[in-house]
Amino acid sequence: MRVSSYLSLPLALASALWTYATSASPDYSEHLLLQPLPQSSLLASFNFRGNTSQQSYDNQHFQYFPRALGQILQHASTKELHLRFTTGRWDAENWGSRPWNGNKEGGTGVELWAWIEAADDEEAFAKWITLTQSLSGLFCASLNFIDSTRTTRPVVSFEPTGDHPHLETLHLLHGTLPGEVVCTENLTPFLKLLPCKGKAGISTLFDGHKLFDAAWQSMSVDMRPVCPADGDCVVQIEQTVDMVLDIERSKRSRSNPIPRAVPNDQLACDPSKSYNSDDTCYPLEKASGRAWSLQEVFGRTLNGVCPLAVSDGESEQPICLRVPDERQVSYSEGVVEHRKADGYTRCYALSPSQPFDLSVPEQDIQQEVPLEEPVLHAERTIVGHGQERGGMRMILANPSKTAHVDFIIFESLPWYLRPYTHTLQATITDANGRSREIPASDLVTRTFYRPAIDRERGTQLELSLSVPAASTVTLTYDFEKAILRYTEYPPDANRGFNVAPAVIRILGAPNAAPIYIRSTSLLLPLPTPDFSMPYNVIILTSTVIALAFGTVFNILVRRVVSVDEARALGARTLKGRILSKVIAIRDRLQKKQTKVE
């Protein structure tokens, strides 16, 4: 299914509306946006936001801000924090542009960046380590493995989103763990940070089994100070969970989770194809008219509203659904539906105590909710062969027919991947498929590069470039793979080493929020030794040393005689005496034999 870009009322706009409507006064609010996506998918986007006045935050009087997190942030002098847990891959080809314009998601695994107040870089790094250690305990994640080799200091890729009075004393540090497996144990502490803790409101829909069974999911925690022009500063915590569920998969009952083949007669086959027998079928992609309900997809219904989430009924409703207006939707009693003017969005004001369910029956409809076309398609792979060298290739496609796109690529590479930046090459392919090589400097306007130091820090590379309209740029560079020390290999060394995803920040209008895209993480195979190596080395070197030593020692100590003399001497040694005895015994036996004969 193609993404229709001309009709698009951006999903991002809807989310942006929330952002500006709620950032001001209410102390706590929560929202859920449900949107069916092509190919039987459902995007559920949860947002929770709490404000605490700066004064009570500083005095450690926590009401909507979680105490555990607040104390960690104060202890590490962290003024702004962004933490992401992501699994899966966002299918931009089918699903369009990312929720929140990619501002609420991270690279595969865990990504953390924070602005830390410190006098110098060393102090900032010490506080950063404190922060990662403490967050690691709070979120049950291996964040404590973010050490100096996994920490970078991006220059242009990230901007603080909060209002900071002393920006010059803040240090931005960024760390990623691409190999971290995000799982249920990260969701439980995440839920504990919410004031209603999954007991009331939209957070009751969270179920670890469903969430981590999603095709793509991202959890984020953001903390920032917000100072409105009129009024006192507040410290804002925003938690989001975005997930794309496969409706068919989620509807499978927990007791019978094994997928079974659909009987032949129930298959929807494409009649326009020609078939040579009865048992072949080109499955027909169903229109978006698939039936689902909250109960079926999430395994539970929504339990009332969180009483803290102040909603005045008219302007704000906690739950919104984006389906065409002609679509029939049934919902629980006592719920008020509000339709938005755009013709696709309807929101629900819930009654405080009753459970809420939403049911969308199967229906054939022609119209679809338009999806926004992504501004840039990005793909990043490792190329090359062999154990010694390799190459990185990035394919950046600008789908727009008219506008060029400016962006910044941020790469944080592990130290054992040593890029050769002089090999950076660019190939540009226009709409007609003609490709030509151009010097990379034609595209790259600015480069920020900090080379790696073995075992101390990784490479940090920020490239600012521009892709013309309707063309595709392929960037490549070569790298060398380092050989690690014996103890530096993980237990599963042959699996390969994770390379963090590249972060692409698309620069739009000067004041607009930037759009972020993250590539998938990569797996780098390194030369892996045989791990019985140390003993082999010990034995081999010992043998060589012993050989050399023995020769030298013997030459120095032994007496040199001729062969005959040696024989004569040999008769007097222990060996000679034993030999002569043996010969004597043999002679005697032979004599006996002759006697018998």
Indicate which single residue of 5, 71, 354, 474 sits in contact with other proteins (rule: CB under 8 A).
71
Instruction: Decide if residue 568 touches other proteins (CB under 8 A).
Output: yes
Instruction: Decide if residue 383 touches other proteins (CB under 8 A).
Output: no
Is the CB of residue 449 less than 8 Å from the CB of residue 489?
Answer: no
Indicate which single residue of 278, 559, 595, 597 sits in contact with other proteins (rule: CB under 8 A).
559
Indicate which single residue of 21, 512, 569, 589 sits in contact with other proteins (rule: CB under 8 A).
569
Max distance between CA atoms of the chain, in angstroms, equals: 130
Instruction: Decide if residue 94 touches other proteins (CB under 8 A).
Output: no
Indicate which single residue of 229, 557, 574, 596 sits in contact with other proteins (rule: CB under 8 A).
557
Instruction: Decide if residue 68 touches other proteins (CB under 8 A).
Output: yes
Indicate which single residue of 268, 291, 533, 545 sits in contact with other proteins (rule: CB under 8 A).
545
Name the minimum Å distance from CB 561 to other proteins. Answer: 4
Quick one: tokens of 281? Answer: 């079928």
Please count the residues of this chain forming the interface with other proteins, following the rule CB under 8 A.
46
Pairwise CA distance, residues 571 & 559, whole Å: 16
456 sits in which H/E element:
none
Nearer to other proteins, 441 or 542 (CB): 542
Indicate which single residue of 564, 574, 596, 597 sits in contact with other proteins (rule: CB under 8 A).
564
> What are the two backbone dihedrals, phi and then psi, of residue 384, each rounded to the nearest 5 degrees?
95, 170
Report helix, strand or coil for 365: coil
Residue 195 DSSP class: T
137-158: b (≥16 Cβ within 10 Å) or e: ebbebebeebebbbbbbbeebb
Sequence-distant (≥ 6) Cβ neighbours of residue 453 within 8 angstroms:
415
Sequence-distant (≥ 6) Cβ neighbours of residue 395 within 8 angstroms:
377, 378, 379, 380, 472, 473, 474
Binding mask 132-151 for other proteins (x = CB under 8 A): --x-----------------
Instruction: Decide if residue 546 touches other proteins (CB under 8 A).
Output: yes
Indicate which single residue of 554, 574, 593, 595 sits in contact with other proteins (rule: CB under 8 A).
554
Sequence-distant (≥ 6) Cβ neighbours of residue 203 within 8 angstroms:
30, 46, 48, 191, 194, 196, 197, 306
Nearest to 202 by CA among 356, 333, 79, 39: 356
Instruction: Decide if residue 53 touches other proteins (CB under 8 A).
Output: no
Instruction: Decide if residue 561 touches other proteins (CB under 8 A).
Output: yes
Name the minimum Å distance from CB 66 to other proteins. Answer: 7
Nearer to other proteins, 274 or 562 (CB): 562
Indicate which single residue of 34, 114, 200, 526 sits in contact with other proteins (rule: CB under 8 A).
200
Name the minimum Å distance from CB 568 to other proteins. Answer: 4
Structure-derived torsion over alpha carbons of residues 438, 441, 443, 449, reported in degrees to the nearest 10: 130
Instruction: Decide if residue 67 touches other proteins (CB under 8 A).
Output: yes
Nearer to other proteins, 184 or 423 (CB): 184
Is the CB of residue 489 less than 8 Å from the CB of residue 528?
Answer: yes
- Sign (positive or negative) of CA dihedral 174, 179, 183, 188: negative
Indicate which single residue of 262, 284, 547, 589 sits in contact with other proteins (rule: CB under 8 A).
547
Pairwise CA distance, residues 15 & 3, whole Å: 19
Name the minimum Å distance from CB 541 to other proteins. Answer: 8
Type of residue found at 72: I
Binding mask 502-541 for other proteins (x = CB under 8 A): ---------------------------------x--xx-x
Indicate which single residue of 7, 61, 262, 456 sits in contact with other proteins (rule: CB under 8 A).
61
Indicate which single residue of 4, 5, 19, 56 sits in contact with other proteins (rule: CB under 8 A).
56
Nearer to other proteins, 531 or 549 (CB): 549
Sequence-distant (≥ 6) Cβ neighbours of residue 347 within 8 angstroms:
317, 319, 320, 321, 337, 338, 340
Nearer to other proteins, 70 or 102 (CB): 70
286-304: b (≥16 Cβ within 10 Å) or e: eebebebbbebbbeebbbb
Strands of 247-388 (E only): list them.
292-293, 302-303, 319-322, 330-331, 336-339, 345-349, 355-356, 358-360, 377-383
Binding mask 73-92 for other proteins (x = CB under 8 A): --x-----------------
Nearer to other proteins, 193 or 211 (CB): 193
Indicate which single residue of 3, 72, 358, 369 sits in contact with other proteins (rule: CB under 8 A).
72
Pairwise CA distance, residues 84 & 587, whole Å: 91
Name the minimum Å distance from CB 530 to other proteins. Answer: 17
Nearer to other proteins, 46 or 90 (CB): 46
Indicate which single residue of 7, 25, 126, 199 sits in contact with other proteins (rule: CB under 8 A).
199
Gyration radius of the chain over CA positions: 34
CA atoms within 13 A on the CB side of 523: 7
Instruction: Decide if residue 197 touches other proteins (CB under 8 A).
Output: yes
Instruction: Decide if residue 562 touches other proteins (CB under 8 A).
Output: yes
Q: Which residues bind other proteins (CB under 8 A)?
A: 56, 59-63, 66-68, 71-72, 75, 134, 192, 195-197, 199-200, 306-308, 535, 538-539, 541-543, 545-547, 549-550, 553-554, 556-557, 559, 561-562, 564-565, 567-569, 571
